[in-house]
């Protein structure tokens, strides 16, 4: 009986109720959308590097090592000697190892020296491999493979020349040894998109005639002579390591951290990512708080709508009382109306969220590399919707209690 009365009352005020439901729906969609983006960003952040068991470099901080080796942010405190790298590479626990050499740049994009193993073992987004959108992987000493953002920003195509600058913010350029774009990688949504990749030997080749950060005056070794040299690296910045068995990961990590030849640090990428996420977690909390306040604002708006309708419904309440309805029935009806509006708003908000995800998913993936999976509602999202319905019932108690206290005489009184 109460349910039928509540539904009939909502239909009688369809326009006002519809606007209230829409406000709740938009706020719920925003809150759940922020949650989806938050979890999606966190997953994409973690999936920047997957399948790598350890990262090691010169001893510093774990977050610092992660930032410059994976995200190309900041610089290493020191390099790792090539002899130490080879010593670790030959350990029995190591299944594969990828050297990384950083230091040079090209028009604000980082240049990374590495080996062919990088293209074989670097994984992102739950095990996806790097793919070439155009051209081929490095096939010559002075070939380079560039990320999708580098190509898009600078307008490069396969075959274009590239001049690498010495250092990150330097006007000194390696004009004597230009590179050629041999391939452009597909967009990954990782720092690889903003990286110019060359071979470890190429890093040595462009520094043959350089000393102390500048080219030796009057010295220019021909490219043919450089190709004939034994371009053995002297040092690397960091290395990605895959172990043969997960049980050997901590043993290898301890061995690297206790390495006697030079101070090194080995980190677990997942643990370092959690540390990094903890640092930036305050922004995540602030974003959730803002979206939660939007939901609260919508619920308060619903309470105000119920309040404003009470004066218009005084005769309606009085008629119900005259027909034998108890004050508790009036209170229950108003609370039920609010719960129905909150429930409809929550369901509509969920529907709007999935429509938005369907439309935005390919755009966010191609533009920002942010993958937002379209999964069934999680238990957390279900609890959020139930919380909105419960909150709707709670805020409706204030106007419902006022209606509860209205007397029959007050309801029938004609105001002049």
Residue 105: name the closest of 156, 161, 202, 171 by CA: 171
Q: Where are the alpha helices (DSSP H) in 47-126?
A: 62-70, 82-89, 117-121
Question: 404: helix, coil or strand?
Answer: helix
The per-residue pLDDT for 28 is 87
16-21 long-range contacts (CB < 8 A, ≥24 apart) are 16/305, 16/309, 17/305, 17/341, 20/301, 20/302, 20/305, 20/341, 20/345, 21/341, 21/344, 21/345, 21/348
Q: Is 155 exposed, middle or buried (0-12, 13-18, 19+ CB in 10 A)?
A: exposed
The CA distance from 149 to 377, in Å, is 33
Question: 134: helix, coil or strand?
Answer: strand
The CA distance from 255 to 239, in Å, is 15
| DSSP type of residue 216 | P
Residue 365: name the closest of 194, 186, 127, 153 by CA: 186
Question: 31: helix, coil or strand?
Answer: helix
The CA distance from 265 to 258, in Å, is 9
The per-residue pLDDT for 313 is 66
- 80: β partners: 236
The per-residue pLDDT for 160 is 95
Task: Write the DSSP string, 297-352.
Answer: HHHHHHHHHHHHHHHHTHHHHHHHHHTT--HHHHHHHHHHHHHHHHHHHHHHHHHH
Give the pLDDT of the chain (416 residues) as one tens digit per residue: 567 766 777 777 778 888 888 888 888 888 888 878 877 777 777 778 888 999 999 999 999 999 999 988 888 889 999 999 999 999 999 999 999 999 889 988 999 999 999 999 998 877 889 999 999 999 899 999 999 999 999 999 999 999 998 877 666 788 878 899 999 999 888 889 999 999 999 999 888 877 766 667 767 777 788 888 888 899 999 999 999 999 899 999 999 999 999 999 999 998 888 888 777 667 767 777 877 888 888 888 877 777 776 666 666 666 666 666 676 677 777 788 888 888 998 999 899 999 988 888 787 776 666 677 788 888 888 888 898 888 888 887 877 777 666 644 454 454 44
The per-residue pLDDT for 367 is 66
The CA distance from 55 to 313, in Å, is 69
The per-residue pLDDT for 291 is 76
């Amino acid at each position: 009986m109460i349910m039928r009365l509540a539904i009939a009352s909502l239909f009688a005020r369809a326009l006002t109720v519809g606007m209230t439901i829409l406000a709740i729906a938009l706020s719920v969609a925003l809150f759940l959308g922020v949650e989806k983006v938050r979890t999606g960003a966190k997953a994409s952040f973690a999936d920047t590097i997957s399948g790598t068991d350890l990262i090691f470099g010169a001893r510093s901080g774990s977050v610092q090592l992660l930032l410059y080796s994976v995200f190309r942010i900041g610089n290493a405190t020191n390099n790792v000697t090539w002899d130490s790298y080879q010593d670790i590479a030959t350990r029995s626990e190591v299944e594969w190892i990828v050297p990384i050499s950083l230091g040079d740049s090209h028009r604000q994009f980082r240049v990374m020296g590495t080996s062919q193993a990088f293209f074989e073992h670097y994984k992102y987004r739950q095990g996806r491999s790097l793919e070439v959108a155009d051209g081929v992987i490095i096939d010559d000493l002075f070939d380079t493979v560039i990320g999708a953002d580098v190509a898009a920003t600078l307008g490069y195509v396969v075959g274009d020349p590239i001049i690498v600058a010495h250092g990150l913010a330097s006007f000194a350029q390696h004009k004597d040894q230009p590179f050629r774009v041999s391939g452009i990688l597909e967009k990954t949504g990782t720092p690889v998109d903003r990286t110019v990749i060359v071979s470890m030997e190429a890093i040595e080749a462009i520094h043959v005639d350089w000393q102390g950060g500048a080219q030796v005056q009057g010295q220019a070794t021909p490219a043919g002579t450089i190709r004939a040299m034994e371009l053995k690296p002297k040092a690397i910045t960091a290395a990605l390591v895959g172990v043969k068995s997960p049980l050997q990961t901590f043993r290898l990590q301890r061995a690297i951290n206790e390495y006697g030849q030079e101070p090194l640090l080995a980190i677990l990428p997942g643990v370092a990512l959690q540390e990094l996420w903890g640092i930036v977690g305050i922004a995540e909390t602030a974003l959730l708080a803002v979206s939660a306040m939007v939901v609260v604002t919508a619920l308060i708006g619903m309470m105000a709508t119920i309040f404003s309708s009470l004066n218009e419904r005084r005769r309606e309440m009085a008629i119900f009382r005259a027909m034998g309805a108890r004050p508790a029935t009036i209170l229950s009806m108003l609370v039920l109306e609010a719960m129905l509006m909150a429930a409809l708003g929550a369901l509509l908000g969920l529907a709007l969220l999935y429509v938005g995800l369907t439309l935005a998913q390919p755009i966010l993936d191609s533009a920002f590399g942010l993958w937002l999976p379209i999964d069934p509602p999680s238990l957390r999202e279900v609890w959020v919707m139930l919380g909105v319905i419960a909150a709707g019932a709670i805020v409706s108690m204030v106007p419902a209690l006022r209606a509860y206290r209205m007397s029959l005489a007050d309801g029938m009184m004609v105001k002049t």
